[in-house]
Amino acid sequence: MEANGFQVAMTEGFTYLLQERDFIAKHFYPFVSPTLKQFLVQLNKENKEGFQEDAGLTIGPTQLVDRVIWWENFVQKHPDFILLKHAEAERKAYLSTLLTGMDNSPILSFDDNKLDPYYAEAYQYLNKKAPTSKTNEVLKPYYEALQKGDTAKAYTLLTRYKLDKVIGY
């Protein structure tokens, strides 16, 4: 399996085959376009860094923001990319996580129902790193509502984002 680009992986007691992206890089990157190579390099990087385990985030808040901004910039720069839908799905998934959290990494703290420090840091970093991004345009009013403890407004925004397909779930 390893000689042919696969590795054995295990999550929560389930064993499965995982694509070995370094194998792909070594054997196929020389034959793809520069844009596709850029796309594949980013996927490989993110795959190595991980993202979540057991419905909890395993990356830091700045990494999460860096990923969503990277994908936003990639989609904007390459609107005719053959895998644009995949790139857009990556962007939307990270944005959705910034807005809705995960089961074991919730937006609102279990203890006091206030904005979790992880997301506060992510939102502050986003506002400094990419203040004019579409991502910040979406997150800024949501963050402001959560800072004020106005969860009704935050949930209204989330509902609108879902209906407008800004986020995936």
**What does the alpha-carbon distance between residue 143 and residue 153 come to, in Å, rounded to a whole number?**
10
**Three-state SS for 91?**
helix
Q: Write the CB contacts of 113 (distance below 8 Å, at least 6 apart in sequence).
A: 151
Bridge partners, 52 (sequence order): 57
Q: What are phi and psi of 49, to 5 degrees?
A: -75, -25
**What does the alpha-carbon distance between residue 73 and residue 60 come to, in Å, rounded to a whole number?**
20
Helix (H) or strand (E) segment spanning residue 57: strand 56-57
SS3 of 8-49: the string is EEEECCEEEEEECHHHHHHHHHHHCCHHHHHHHHHHHHHHHH
Write down the pLDDT at residue 11: 75
Q: Which residues of the chain have pLDDT under 70?
A: 169
Write down the pLDDT at residue 169: 65
pTM of the model: 0.89
Write down the pLDDT at residue 111: 80
Is residue 78 within 8 A of residue 35, CB to CB? The reply is yes
Write down the pLDDT at residue 62: 97
